[in-house]
């Protein structure tokens, strides 16, 4: 162990830890695209990708190779530097957020005190990739998509923030590890069930997923903010969307579904290591995302804004007050 | 640690450079993006100083919300650069005067700055052991400074209400969707179920539209359909209200 206490050793150790998070994450992102296509196909009584490899399992790699081989086209009049930067921002931010996510007890690259704020900050930065892409493309459809997306993400962040506050009231700490440990025995999705639903739906809107996928409304504005993107830059947006979904599923898991803890606290279940439970729960929430996409029609823009500002915001505010009141009234405050 | 100092100077240098670019870059969108870079580096400096809560709040509030609105507005501006340059020459003297005044004020303020005797000692141990940053802030903000804190919140609230009052007009032409009414609608309000013998079709009469409200109905009318059979010559279709 002597080597890993030196500065060089520390740097190498950090790099290895980062890789240990990023490599499974990237595999998960690649297979999320496959899983979505399979899930949608099953719901719509189709077969889905089944040609490349057994059960079509190599489809993500075939898609990746196709994307790499294609020509990257930068439209005339586009702002070159920003145009290329935008997909990198989207994808990079979705990766950066994983630095603080605990996949097991104290098993995070950075176990920081303000973990939940960090996650909130990073997810609120996601809007920049989209808005810069829309502006730099020099296209009205892209710009309209970007504006829609920015307004939508800013609106739903507000209620996500309040939901987080009501969870934090029950925990008494901003550390993600503490948040998961506080759910030992009772996951927050049971006492805070309405907030769980609000968080899940706001998460759909935050990721620009159906039924809130107006930013890319293909029937009105072609494909929204990434109309002008092709080849790898398009692939980065596409994968960034899935990475964001996985991140949102991870946040839902940590805040409401007990993170890495097993659902039943006795032997055959507790023997399975934490990261596996964590990934299983993420996959469950991801499946809910796909299921919603296959089931619900797209919202109209005014309906979306109404839901965010007139329903979720008052509801989450009210629930926050109720939570605080209940904690004080029954003496359940974590640090009292 | 030497790393702290390296990163401090790195972030400070980028911060200052980005701040210069905010003022000098020609494209206002680039200006806003450099401003965001500034905020980022300021947050990093807060982190180095151990103020993790402030750093995150800077990220969330300034970069996540305020700068997005800036970007929103600036992107939609239609800027004529030649007009902008003509304005610069006209307003340069006024700008210079204001700049000089601000500089003088800064010099006066910084020149008169005295550290209190206990300040350097406080600076050396900023963190109380065992209490996290957020915890420490909360302890003073909601007890000692509760009045000031609530006043600040009220001022913001009043500003928000003022902005809404100034901009929100009831536009008579816009059509609202009454979601409660839509959800309360029953199948019986909009359609009629018919029990017909086999081989007999139904002709639709008139345009289908929601039935008028119950209060407007004089009496329960006949079903708005006419039985069609092959043996009879269809009579001229008349719309029956229902």
What's the pLDDT score for residue B242? Answer: 43
Choose between A166 and B134: higher pLDDT: A166
Answer for the pair B4, B35: CB distance below 8 angstroms, yes or no.
no
Q: Tell me if A127 and B64 make a contact (CB, 8 A cut-off).
A: yes
Residue-wise pLDDT for A121-136, tens only, equals 888 888 888 888 888 8
Partners of B205 in beta bridges:
none
Residues B64, A125: C-beta atoms closer than 8 Å: yes
Bigger pLDDT: A215 vs A243: A243
Q: How confident is the model at residue A260 (pLDDT cuts 50, 70, 90)?
A: confident
**Are A131 and B75 an interchain contact pair (Cβ–Cβ within 8 Å)?**
yes
The mean per-residue pLDDT over the stretch A175-194 comes to 86
Q: Over its length of 242 residues, how does chain B's per-residue pLDDT go in tens digits? A: 677 788 889 999 999 999 999 888 888 888 888 999 999 899 999 888 888 888 888 988 888 888 888 888 888 776 666 666 667 777 888 888 999 999 999 998 888 777 777 766 666 555 566 677 788 888 888 888 899 999 999 999 999 999 988 888 776 676 777 788 888 888 877 777 778 788 777 776 555 565 555 555 455 445 455 554 444 444 445 555 44
Structural domain including B136 reads: 132-165
The first and second tokens of residue A4, run together, are: 């890993």
| pLDDT recorded at residue A163 | 92
User: CA of A73 to nearest chain B CA: how many angstroms apart?
Assistant: 23
Interface residues of chain A, partner chain B, Cβ below 8 Å: 82, 112-114, 117-118, 120-121, 124-125, 127-128, 131-132, 135, 143, 147, 150, 154, 157, 173-174, 302-303, 306
Q: What CA–CA distance (Å, rounded) separates A6 from B154? A: 52
Give me the residue label for tokens 């925990």.
A171
Contact at CB, B52 and A303, closer than 8 angstroms: no
pLDDT of residue B15: 93
Query: Does the structure show a pLDDT above 70 at A115?
Result: yes
Rounded to whole angstroms, the Cα distance separating B164 from B107 reads: 39
Measure in Å the smallest separation between the Cα of B77 and chain A Cα atoms: 12
Position A94 scores a pLDDT of 87
**Rounded (10°) angle between helices A115-136 and B28-48:** 160
The domain boundary residue, chosen from B165, B183, B213: B165
In 3-state terms, what secondary structure has residue B228?
strand
Q: Where does residue B211 rank: exposed (0-12), middle (13-18), buried (19+ CB within 10 A)?
A: middle
Helix (H) or strand (E) holding B201: strand B201-204
Rounded average pLDDT over A80-90: 87
Q: CB A170: neighbour CB atoms within 10 A?
A: 20
State residue B231's pLDDT score.
46
Whose CA is closest to A140, among B73, B81, B30, B75? B75
Of A113, A127, A150, the CB nearest to B52: A113
Cβ A135–B29 below 8 Å, yes or no?
yes
What integer pLDDT is reported at residue B205 of this predicted model?
59
Mean pLDDT, residues A202-211: 86
B203 by DSSP, 3-state: which? strand
- Give chain B positions within 8 Å (CB) of A127: 64, 68
The model's pLDDT over A14-58, given as tens digits with 9 standing for 90+, comes to: 888 888 888 988 888 989 989 999 999 999 999 888 888 888 888
Give the three-class secondary structure for B94. helix
Mean pLDDT of A294-306: 86
Percent pLDDT > 90 in chain A is: 17
CA–CA gap between residue B14 and residue B44 (Å, rounded): 11
Q: In this structure, what token pair is assigned to residue B207?
A: 């345009």
pTM of the model: 0.81
The pLDDT assigned to B80 comes to 63
Q: Which two tokens stand for residue B107?
A: 């010099």
| Tokens standing for residue A34 | 């496959």
What is the rounded average pLDDT for all residues in chain A? 86
CA distances from A305 to A214, A308, B91 (A): 11, 5, 42
Percent helix, strand and coil across chain A, each rounded to 5? 70, 0, 30
Check residue B208 and give its pLDDT.
Answer: 59
Say which of B52, B71, B177 has its CB closest to residue A131: B71
What number of C-beta contacts closer than 8 Å exist between A and B?
60
- The pair of three-digit structure tokens given for residue B192, joined into one six-digit string: 């009629």
Which pair of tokens denotes residue A268?
């055959």
* ipTM higher than the 0.85 cut: no
Largest CA distance in chain B: 111
Q: By the 8 A CB rule, do A38 and A49 touch? A: yes
Residues B70 and B136 occupy one common structural domain: no
Domain at B61, CATH number: 1.20.120.1200
Residues whose CB falls within 8 Å of the CB of residue A99, separated by 6 or more in sequence, listed in order = A18, A21, A108, A109, A110, A118
Which residue is it, tokens 């029950």?
A: A170
pLDDT of residue B120: 66
**Domain-embedded: residue B57:** yes
Instruction: Give chain A's length.
Output: 336
CA of A280 vs chain B CAs: smallest distance (Å)? 30
Contacts of A64 (CB under 8 A, 6+ apart): A30, A235
Give the pLDDT score at B177. Answer: 75
Residues A227 and A139: beta-carbon distance below 8 Å:
yes
Gap from A264 CA to chain B (nearest CA, Å): 32
Residue B25 lies in a domain: yes
Cα angle value A109/B43/A108 (rounded, 5°):
10
In angstroms, rounded to a whole number, what is the distance separating the alpha carbons of residues A323 and A292? 29
Residue B50 domain-assigned? Answer: yes
Boundary-marking domain end, from B80, B107, B141 = B80
Structure tokens that stand for B84 in this block: 């902008």
State how far the alpha carbon of B238 is from the alpha carbons of B33, B62, B206, B224, in Å: 67, 66, 8, 9
3-state helix, strand, coil in chain B (%, to 5): 60, 5, 35
Classify residue B74: in a domain, yes or no: yes
A206 alpha-carbon distance from chain centroid: 8
Residue A143 buriedness (CB in 10 A; 0-12 / 13-18 / 19+): buried
pLDDT in tens, A143-155: 888 888 888 888 8
Burial label, A231 (beta-carbon count in 10 A; 0-12, 13-18, 19+): middle
Residue B15 lies in a domain: yes
3-state secondary structure of A213: coil
In this predicted structure, what is the pLDDT of residue B230?
Answer: 47
Residue B219 lies in a domain: no
User: What's the structural domain count of chain B?
Assistant: 2
* In a shared domain, residues B74 and B2: yes
B-chain residue closest to A300, CA distance: B177
Q: How remote is the C-alpha of A309 from its chain's centroid?
A: 21
At residue B126, φ and ψ (nearest 5 deg) are -70, -30
Mean pLDDT computed over A203-231: 78
Which of B49, B80, B111 is the C-terminal boundary of a domain?
A: B80
Are A223 and A174 within 8 A, CB to CB? Answer: no
Residue B221: inside a domain: no
Across the interface, of B63, B65, B134, the residue whose CB is closest to A113 is B134
CA angle centred on A316, ends A313 and A320, rounded to 5°: 135
With contact defined as beta carbons under 8 Å apart, do A141 and A224 qualify? yes
- Rounded to a whole number of angstroms, the CA Rg of chain B reads 35
- B70 lies in the same domain as B145: no
Q: Does the residue B33 lie in any domain?
A: yes
**SS3 of A221, please?**
helix
């Amino acid at each position: 162990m002597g080597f890993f206490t030196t500065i060089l050793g520390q740097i190498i150790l950090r790099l290895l830890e980062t890789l240990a998070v990023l490599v499974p994450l990237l595999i998960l992102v690649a297979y999320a695209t496959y899983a979505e296509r399979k899930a949608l196909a099953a719901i719509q009584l189709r077969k889905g990708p089944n040609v490349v490899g057994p059960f079509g399992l190599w489809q993500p790699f075939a898609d990746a190779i196709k994307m790499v081989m294609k020509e990257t086209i930068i439209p005339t009049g586009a702002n070159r530097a920003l145009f290329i930067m935008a997909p990198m921002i989207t994808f990079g931010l979705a990766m950066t957020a994983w630095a603080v996510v605990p996949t097991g007890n104290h098993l995070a690259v950075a176990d920081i005190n303000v973990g939940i704020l960090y996650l909130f900050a990073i997810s609120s930065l996601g809007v920049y990739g989209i808005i810069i892409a829309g502006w730099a493309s020099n296209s009205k459809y892209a710009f309209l998509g970007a504006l829609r997306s920015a307004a939508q993400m800013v609106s739903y962040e507000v209620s996500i923030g309040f939901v987080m506050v009501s969870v934090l009231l029950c925990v008494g700490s901003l550390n993600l590890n503490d948040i998961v440990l506080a759910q030992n025995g009772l996951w927050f999705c049971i006492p805070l069930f309405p907030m769980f639903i609000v968080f899940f739906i706001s998460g759909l809107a935050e990721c620009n997923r159906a039924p809130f996928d107006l930013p890319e409304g293909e029937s009105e504005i072609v494909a929204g903010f990434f109309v002008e993107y092709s080849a790898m830059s398009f692939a980065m947006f596409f994968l960034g969307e899935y990475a964001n979904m996985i991140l949102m599923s991870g946040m839902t898991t940590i805040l409401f579904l007990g993170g890495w803890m097993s659902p039943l606290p006795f032997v055959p279940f507790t023997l399975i290591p934490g990261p596996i439970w964590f990934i299983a729960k993420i996959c469950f929430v991801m499946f809910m995302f796909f299921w919603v996409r296959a089931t619900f029609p797209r919202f109209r823009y005014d309906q979306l804004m109404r839901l965010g500002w007139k329903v979720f915001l008052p509801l989450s505010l009210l629930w926050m007050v109720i939570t605080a009141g209940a904690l004080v009234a029954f003496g359940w405050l974590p640090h009292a | 640690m030497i790393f702290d100092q390296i990163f401090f100077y790195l972030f400070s240098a980028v911060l200052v450079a980005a701040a210069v670019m905010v003022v000098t870059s020609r494209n206002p969108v680039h200006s806003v993006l450099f401003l965001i870079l500034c905020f980022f580096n300021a947050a990093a400096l807060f982190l180095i100083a151990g103020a993790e809560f402030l750093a995150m709040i800077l990220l969330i509030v300034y970069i996540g919300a305020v700068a997005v609105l800036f970007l929103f507005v600036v992107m939609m501006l239609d800027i004529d650069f030649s007009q902008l340059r003509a304005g610069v020459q006209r307003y340069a003297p006024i700008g210079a005067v204001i700049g000089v005044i601000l500089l003088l004020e800064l010099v006066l303020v910084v020149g008169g700055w005295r550290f209190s005797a206990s300040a350097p000692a406080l600076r050396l141990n900023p963190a109380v052991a065992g209490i996290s940053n957020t915890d420490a802030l909360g302890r003073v903000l909601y007890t000692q400074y509760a009045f000031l804190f609530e006043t600040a919140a009220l001022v913001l609230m009043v500003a928000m209400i003022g902005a809404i009052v100034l901009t929100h007009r009831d536009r008579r032409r816009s059509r609202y969707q009454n979601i409660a009414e839509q959800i309360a609608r029953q199948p019986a309000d909009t359609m009629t179920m018919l029990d017909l013998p086999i081989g007999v079709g139904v002709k639709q009469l008139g345009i289908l539209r929601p039935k008028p409200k119950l209060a407007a109905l004089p009496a329960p009318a006949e079903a708005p359909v006419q039985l069609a059979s092959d043996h009879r010559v269809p009579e001229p279709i008349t719309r029956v209200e229902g």
